[in-house]
Amino acid sequence: MAMDQGLDAFKNESVENVVDASKKVKVGIIGCGWIADSHIKQYLQMEDVEIVAGADLVPGKAEKFFKDHGVEGVRCYPSHKEMIDNETLDAVSICTYNCQHAEPTIYALEHGVNVMLEKPFTVTLDEAVAVMKAEKKSGKILTIGFQPRMSENMQMIKRIVESGELGEIYYLQAGGGRRRGIPTPFGTTFIEKETGGIGAVGDIGSYSLDMLLNAVGYPKPLTVTGYTSNFFGTDPKYYSAHPEYAEKFGVDDFAAAFVRLEGGIILDFRISWAMHMDTCGDALILGTKGGLRIPSTDCWNGEFDTPLKVYRNVGDKVPMCYEVPMIPAKTSFFYQKIRSFLDEVKKPAGEGKPTVPSSQILYNQAIIDGIVKSAELGREIEIEIPEI
Ligand SMILES: NC(=O)c1ccc[n+]([C@@H]2O[C@H](COP(=O)([O-])OP(=O)(O)OC[C@H]3O[C@@H](n4cnc5c(N)ncnc54)[C@H](O)[C@@H]3O)[C@@H](O)[C@H]2O)c1
C-alpha cells in the first residue's frame, strides 16, 4: 500500500459490536495528528466509549480534529497536562510523535489513567525504563500499539515456533523495508530529530523486531553492532514536492545490526525507509529441526500477503517445504488493538492485562537504543538494561 493512501484504507470497515455498553469508558486522545485519525475511527464504532477530551500542542488542531469527525462536546486542551489535570479519564490514546511518548505516558499513569501508547515505545531505553517505573507504581494498564499482533497470520509465526516444529531456534533474520517510503505525507514530525528522535529503526524497525522477538519469547538482548545511515532523507532530490525536507531530516533512513540474544540466538537485522532495492528480503527463523520463511512485509498494516513457508526434512534427509494456509482477517487490526485494550480496562481493578506489555517491548527498545548508540560509537556495545 502506498504511504500517501494513509489510514484511509481502513475507514470503511464495519465491525460486529458485542460489548457491554452499560459501563462507558471515558477516553481522551493526546495528539490529534495522523494516527489519532485511526484511533478515533475505532472509538466511534464502540458503544461503550465516551470520548470526553482531546489535546494537541498546535492551537486549534484538537478542535478541528473532533469537528472533522463529527464529534460534539469534546473538551479540548493545549497539552496532555491540562487535559489530565482537568478531566476524570479511564483511558487515553497517546498519539504524539516519538519524542513526546514518554512524558505524557508517565503523566497519565501517575494520574491513574490507563494508557494505549502508539509505537515505538519511546525514543531511548532510559525513557522506556522511566515509563515502566511509573507503570509499576500506578498499577494501571500500559499497552503498546502494535496492531500486527492482532493478525492471526502473525500469531501463527509464534504458534509454529512454540509447537517445536522448528526445534531449537538459533538464528533470526529481519526482512522487509521500503525502497521509497520516508513517511512525510502529513508533515515532518517523523523526520525531525526534535520530534521523531529516531527514523526507520524505530518506526518500522520496531514492528520487524516485534514480529521476530515475540515469536521466540522476547529473549533479552546482550550485545549489538549497529549501523545507521541517512543518504536518501538528506538528499533534496529524493523529495519531489518538498526539497526543503532534506534540511529538516535529522534521523536515520536505513539501519542494520548484528545482535546477540540470551539463549544463544543471533538476530541479523536490517530496515529501510529508502534504498536502491525493493526489499531487504523475507524474514527467516532458523531452528535445529526446521526453518520458517515469513514473506517480506512492511508490517505497519499488520500483515503479509503470501503464505508462510515451513522447511523441514522428511525422515533424516529428504528436504521438503509446506505452505501455511492464510487466515482471512475478520475485523480491522486497528479496531482489535483498541478493543483488546478497552476490554482489559473494563475489568475490575488490578485484573486487566496489557495486550502488548512494556516488559516485552523494553527489549525491543533496548535493541533500537543499542543500534543507535553502537552506530554512533562505530563498534559493538553491551546492552545494559537498568532495574525497574
Ligand atoms: N500504529 C500505526 O500504524 C502508526 C501509524 C502512524 C503513526 N504511528 C505512531 O504514532 C505517533 C504519532 O504519529 P503521527 O503520524 O500521528 O504524528 P503527527 O505529527 O501527525 O501527530 C502527532 C500530534 O501530536 C501532537 N503532540 C505532540 N506532543 C503533544 C503533547 N504533549 N500534548 C498534546 N499533543 C501533542 C502534535 O502537535 C501532533 O499534532 C508516532 O509515534 C508514530 O510512530 C503509528
* Nearest atom within ligand 1 for CA of residue 186: 20
Question: What residue owns the CA closest to ligand 1's atom 18?
Answer: 33
Question: How far is the centre of ligand 1, averaged over its atoms, from the C-alpha of 104 (Å)?
Answer: 12
* Nearest atom within ligand 1 for CA of residue 183: 15
- Lookup: cell for 316: 533424516
The predicted pLDDT at position 10 comes to: 41
The predicted pLDDT at position 102 comes to: 98
Indicate if ligand 1 lies below 6 Å from the C-beta of 333.
no
The predicted pLDDT at position 2 comes to: 41
pLDDT tens by residue, 43-60: 999 999 999 999 999 999
The single residue listed with the C-alpha cell 524497525 is: 205
Closest alpha carbon to 174 in 190, 191, 198, 157: 157
Question: How far is the centre of ligand 1, averaged over its atoms, from the C-alpha of 251 (Å)?
Answer: 16
pLDDT tens by residue, 2-25: 443 444 444 444 455 568 888 899
Indicate if ligand 1 lies below 6 Å from the C-beta of 39.
no
- Lookup: cell for 22: 452499560
Indicate if ligand 1 lies below 6 Å from the C-beta of 55.
yes
Averaged pLDDT for residues 262-270: 98
Q: How far apart, in whole angstroms, are the C-alpha atoms of residue 80 and residue 331?
A: 30
Question: What residue owns the CA closest to ligand 1's atom 7?
Answer: 35
pLDDT tens by residue, 133-146: 999 999 999 999 99
Question: What residue owns the CA closest to ligand 1's atom 14?
Answer: 34
Strands (E), 262-378: 265-272, 283-287, 290-294, 308-314, 318-324
Q: How far apart, in whole angstroms, are the C-alpha atoms of residue 164 and residue 283?
A: 19
> E strand or H helix at 228, and its extent?
strand 221-229
Q: How far apart, in whole angstroms, are the C-alpha atoms of residue 117 and residue 29?
A: 10
Confidence category of residue 301, pLDDT binned at 50, 70, 90: confident
Q: Strands across the sheet with 49-55, in order? A: 75-77, 49-55, 25-30, 91-94, 114-118, 142-145
The predicted pLDDT at position 359 comes to: 98
Indicate if ligand 1 lies below 6 Å from the C-beta of 3.
no
Indicate if ligand 1 lies below 6 Å from the C-beta of 21.
no
The predicted pLDDT at position 23 comes to: 87
Question: What residue owns the CA closest to ligand 1's atom 20?
Answer: 33
Question: What residue owns the CA closest to ligand 1's atom 6?
Answer: 35
pLDDT tens by residue, 75-113: 999 999 999 999 999 999 999 999 999 999 999 999 999
Question: How far is the centre of ligand 1, averaged over its atoms, from the C-alpha of 246 (Å)?
Answer: 21
* Nearest atom within ligand 1 for CA of residue 101: 41
Share of the chain above pLDDT 70, in %: 95
**What's phi and psi for 172, nearest 5 deg?**
-125, 135
Structural domains of the chain ordered from first start: 7-148+333-358 (3.40.50.720), 151-329+365-381 (3.30.360.10)
Query: Strands 114-118, 91-94: parallel, antiparallel or unpaired by DSSP?
Result: parallel
Query: Strands 265-272, 254-261: parallel, antiparallel or unpaired by DSSP?
Result: antiparallel
Indicate if ligand 1 lies below 6 Å from the C-beta of 338.
no
Question: What residue owns the CA closest to ligand 1's atom 37?
Answer: 57
Q: What does pTM read for this prediction?
A: 0.95
